[in-house]
Amino acid sequence: MSVEAHRRFSKAAARPSRRAIGVGVVGLGTVGASTVRVLLEHQREIDRRLGCKLELKAVCSRRVERLDLSWLHRRIRNVKITPDWRDVVRHPEVDIVVELVGNLESAHAIASAALQSGKHVVTANKQLVAEYGLELVEQSQHAGTGLGIEACVAGGTPVLHAIREGLAGEHFTSVLGILNGTTNYILTEMEERGCTFAEALAEAQQRGYAEPDPTADVEGHDARYKIAILAMLCFGAAVPVAEVAAEGIRAIDQVDFAYAHRLNHTIRLIAAAERAAGGRLRVSVRPMMIPCAAQLASVRGATNGVLLVGNKGGNTMITGRGAGGEPTAVAVLSDVIEIARDVLSGAAGATPLGYTAWHAAKLAPLGQQVAAFYLRLVVCDRPGILARVSGILARHRINIDSVLQEPAQSKAALPFVLTLEPSRQEHVAAAIREIARLKFLAQPPLLMPFFEQS
Amino acid sequence: MSVEAHRRFSKAAARPSRRAIGVGVVGLGTVGASTVRVLLEHQREIDRRLGCKLELKAVCSRRVERLDLSWLHRRIRNVKITPDWRDVVRHPEVDIVVELVGNLESAHAIASAALQSGKHVVTANKQLVAEYGLELVEQSQHAGTGLGIEACVAGGTPVLHAIREGLAGEHFTSVLGILNGTTNYILTEMEERGCTFAEALAEAQQRGYAEPDPTADVEGHDARYKIAILAMLCFGAAVPVAEVAAEGIRAIDQVDFAYAHRLNHTIRLIAAAERAAGGRLRVSVRPMMIPCAAQLASVRGATNGVLLVGNKGGNTMITGRGAGGEPTAVAVLSDVIEIARDVLSGAAGATPLGYTAWHAAKLAPLGQQVAAFYLRLVVCDRPGILARVSGILARHRINIDSVLQEPAQSKAALPFVLTLEPSRQEHVAAAIREIARLKFLAQPPLLMPFFEQS
């Protein structure tokens, strides 16, 4: 059949029972405004994908009176502009509510109200999904409405769809990710330009990659929400996000990159979830030593990367832009399009996040994990230090693999590094607690596991 | 709501109107047998995703009498085993026909018959989809049945779902891939071990990465089907696959890697499709010089990698295992699961490959492309060679960027390299035709474009 004939045919075959699907956007910050702009800009292509018009019917911003929306008025008429999100949820022509407000409580109220009133919901709020994911799934299934969350993890990369659909036949054993662009930008700046954490943070703030209060990023809280969502979709299990151990990157020093390079490694903040013994999940966010040849090491700057490990398909790695208005808008719109397809075929809300039945995940204690470790100490130089430290490690039955020392800058704060053979983390932690009490320590010890690619 | 309450709820809410969805597999080669094994092994997890049993009802192999299927009998009863694919297509309990026979004509007959009789179809046959894709789409839409093709490109990686769903809101400007594991294995062996093309090919054959007749792989024909499918999904356009220029890797020599490294590049066989002027697509398969820092350079061995470039989300890269029974089986099963979801919600066949209306792609001539080029000549050394070559290039108004010469092994076959400033490919080709006629040439000239990351 010719393309011509096909085009005529498929237009007829796909003729929808409805002329348009209405979209309402709540929140006109960076992501909200980008979503509206990209929707308008890609309108023709989206219509060709759907065989139906996707029409913006309402937008909401609390600051609506202070916003210049002339660009919006120039592009479309008949769009309701309101400071009250209830106007969007109640709008009779809005089928899909796109929730992009940022604040957790508001996002929760909007998403719940929309689902309960039979509207489909797309959200980019990772905290909302990490904390209230199952509740949203339940509301979505109950109302038979769709729920889109692609933008919550790794911005524009299609990783959640990959887990839910493209790799639905896989049995995942672990998922690892560089999920926070701010910290990855800081770490790669420290690595490539040799600057301090404070300098790299200041630059990230100047470039808009880091918030004025960077706590959520640099302490690993942002990545914790994201790994909870990834684990939820990979393992069909609700992860108690508050119980996930999160360690940030504030303690990483330039000298750690010097030692990492001597070991042919680099340092990345890794969010990880894996199956552990007894049906438990081990979930963590912490800086790790990554071999330079590993794919995770090649994720640089504000980029995100996710490594999905399956027991049949092996390693699948997805990298892309993890944040920013336009990449996030692409993820939001992709969810909107998928839900619109389901609306047209009458199938929305069937298995919103890929499972029909969920487990409650029990977390495995990190302490039981066996790994090789990097231990960096900064000491006031004097005789007998190595003897004391190695004595403590020996008492805890931990073998030292190597001792490294870069030329010293100062006798008062002399860094040196021990690499430890694979040991149970709780044994190493016990030893470190003793070492931390030694008087000659000038800084708290820094401990990082080595990542081993499966 | 607690997980317990949710589980009870969601089991009730998602209770399907049917007790099971039946699957029939045609072809029990490497991929077919793996598909059956992985389906049985992941049964519980798949049921949890679907809320419904996915049951193997029939398998077909022409060699059924010579196969040992005791492993299958041990796992399930009541499976029809037949040498005739028609028995699978006609089986009343088979909803989804998985076509894995390899041969194009048979695959076409099976897929068409299945779709026309109202069965859903999953195929891993790239040639079938590249040559008959639109016909299958039409049959699928006409019958309201699903069509799954994820396994056709890059094996176990979820790249086609990413284009169709996870990035449905994107406007793609180009897609580039390392889509053939055999040639990538050969190139990385040549690079890392310094062996010749013939040695690397022999080793690939020994390891089962290359066929006894390696033509389809090393000449780029396999990659040509795959880039045609990627272009189809990215641009909603049917690509005339026979018109796509394909150039293989037989002419690549060890010395090219030496020069590539001096230029801080490597060599990869790149399949590419991009939007060109006048609404045309430029599609090609050819070896290219890739900067070592580019993500495509880090795709090594039999791995596949696809770089999706969008005008809003930027670069998204997906890498994973491109071939092999189990990774391909994961892709096949993921399609089966997605179609089963659609069967349960009554939505199958709506927009099988992501568009409701298709364009016929017009291909842009490669000659109009502007790129920097690598030109390697092997000459019988004598005075005046560089003058002659550079004179010809100058007459065609092509600027030389640099001249490189590694220490010579023999005066009778002396390789040297010119890098050319960005020029129209047709101008360079005209100059090369003249250069190729020069008497002192010991081998035909080798020309490769430099890849520029956007």
Interface of A with B in 158-197 (CB under 8 A): 158-162, 165-171
> Residue B405 burial by CB count (10 A; 0-12/13-18/19+): exposed, middle or buried?
exposed
Q: Could you tell me which residues are beta bridge partners of residue B156?
A: none
Contacts of A259 (CB under 8 A, 6+ apart): A374, A376, A404, A406, A415, A417
- For chain A, list residues with pLDDT below 70: 1-18, 348-350, 454
**How far is A315 from B303, CA to CA, in rounded Å?**
10
Nearest to B366 by CA among B281, B249, B278, B450: B281
Residue B85: helix, strand or coil by DSSP?
helix
Interchain proximity A357–B9, CB inside 8 Å: no
pLDDT at residue B2 is higher than 60? no
Report the topology of domain B159-321.
Dihydrodipicolinate Reductase; domain 2 (3.30.360)
Residue A14 is nearest to which of B327, B337, B356, comparing CB atoms?
Answer: B356
> Please, which residues bridge with residue B286 across strands?
B270
Strand partners, B26: B60, B99
- A320 and B319: CB-CB below 8 Å? no
Superfamily of domain A3-155+325-360: NAD(P)-binding Rossmann-like Domain (3.40.50.720)
pLDDT digits (tens, 9 = 90+) for B235-251: 999 999 999 999 999 99
CATH class of B369-449: alpha beta
Chain A hits for B168, Cβ within 8 Å = 46, 49, 333-334, 337-338
If you write DSSP's letter for every residue of A201-250 in order, what string do you get?
Answer: HHHHHHTTSS-SS-HHHHTTHHHHHHHHHHHHHHHTEE--GGGSEE--ST
Q: Do A14 and B331 make contact, defined as CB atoms within 8 angstroms?
A: no
Cβ separation of A330 and B310 shorter than 8 Å?
Answer: yes
The verdict on B42 touching A (C-beta cutoff 8 Å) is yes
> What pLDDT sits at residue B357?
87
Could you give the C-alpha distances from B425 to A153, B365, B393, B421, B448, in angstroms and in order? 41, 10, 13, 11, 10
Please check whether residue B48 touches A, CB under 8 A. yes
Chain A interface, best mutation among B37, B309, B318, by max A CB count within 10 A? B318
Mutation site for B-interface testing, chosen from A34, A175, A351 by largest number of B Cβ within 10 Å:
A351
pLDDT recorded at residue B441: 94
Listed by number, the residues of chain A in 222-261 with a beta carbon closer than 8 Å to a beta carbon of chain B are 236, 238
Taking residue B66's Cβ as centre, other Cβ atoms within 10 Å add up to 7
Instruction: Report the pLDDT value the prediction gives residue B15, as an integer from 0 to 100.
Output: 42
Residues of chain A with pLDDT > 70, as a percent, come to 95
Q: Which A residues in the span 401-430 are in contact with B, Cβ-Cβ below 8 Å? A: none
Give the sign of the dihedral formed by CA A154, CA A156, CA A160, CA A163. Answer: negative
User: Which amino acid, one-letter code, is at B353?
Assistant: L
pLDDT of residue A3: 57
- In B311-381 the beta strands, taken as DSSP E runs, fall at 314-321, 359-360, 370-379
Mean residue pLDDT across chain B: 92
Q: What is the mean pLDDT of chain A?
A: 92
Q: Does A309 touch chain B (CB under 8 A)?
A: no
pLDDT digits (tens, 9 = 90+) for B289-322: 999 989 999 999 999 999 999 999 999 999 999 8
pLDDT bin (cut points 50, 70, 90) of residue B263 is very high
Q: Which of A11, A57, A226, A362 is catalytic?
A: A226
- The reply to whether A315 touches chain B by the CB within 8 Å rule is yes
On whether any CB of chain B is under 8 Å from the CB of A365, the answer is no
Q: How far apart are CA A151 and CA A171, in angstroms?
A: 23
* Cα–Cα distance for residue pair A263/B370, rounded to 1 Å: 42
Interior/surface letters B423-449, b for 16+ CB within 10 angstroms, e for the rest: bbbebbebbbeebeeeeebeeebbbbb
Quick one: tokens of A128?
Answer: 């909302």
Would residue B318 be called left, alpha or beta, if left means φ above 0 and alpha means ψ between -120 and 50 degrees?
Answer: beta
- DSSP calls for A323-343: SSHHHHHHHHHHHHHHHHHHH
**pLDDT for B138:** 93
How many Å lie between the alpha carbon of B199 and the closest alpha carbon of chain A? 25
Q: How far is CA A331 from CA A98, A156, B245, in A?
A: 12, 5, 33
Q: What is the pTM of this model?
A: 0.94
- DSSP characters over A16-58: -SSSEEEEEEE--SHHHHHHHHHHHHTHHHHHHHHTSEEEEEE
pLDDT, tens digit, 9 for 90 and up, residues B363-390: 999 999 999 999 999 999 888 999 999 9
Cα distance from B193 to chain A (closest Cα, Å)? 17
Helix (H) or strand (E) holding B231: helix B221-235
Distance (Å) from the C-alpha of residue B388 to the closest C-alpha of chain A? 43
Domain boundaries defined on chain A: 3-155+325-360, 159-321, 366-449
| Cβ within 8 Å, pair B49-A351 | yes
Cβ pairs bridging A and B (under 8 Å) = 297
Mean per-residue pLDDT, B212-238: 96
Q: Is B145 on the interface with A (CB under 8 A)?
A: no
Q: How many Å apart are CA A183 and CA A319, to the nearest integer?
A: 16
Percent of chain B residues past pLDDT 70, beyond the cut = 95
Confidence band, pLDDT 50/70/90 cuts, at residue B216: very high
Instruction: Tell me the C-alpha distance between B217 and B74, whole Å.
Output: 38
Residues counted in chain A: 454
Per-residue pLDDT at B454: 64
pLDDT digits (tens, 9 = 90+) for A34-72: 999 999 999 999 999 998 999 999 999 998 888 888 888
Q: What's the complex ipTM?
A: 0.93
For the stretch B87-126, pLDDT in tens is: 999 999 999 999 999 899 999 999 999 999 999 999 999 9
CB contact set of B321 (below 8 Å; sequence gap of 6+): A313, A314, A315, A316, B155, B156, B157, B302, B303, B304, B327
- Taking only Cα atoms into account, the Rg of chain B, rounded to an integer number of angstroms, comes to 25
Q: How much of chain B, in percent, has pLDDT values that exceed 90?
A: 80
Least confident of A229-243, B56-70, B166-180: B56-70
Class of domain A366-449 as given by CATH? alpha beta
Q: Using the 8-state DSSP alphabet, how is residue A441 labeled?
A: B
The amino acid present at A62, given as its one-letter code, is: R
* Residue in A42, A313, A333 nearest the CB of B156: A313
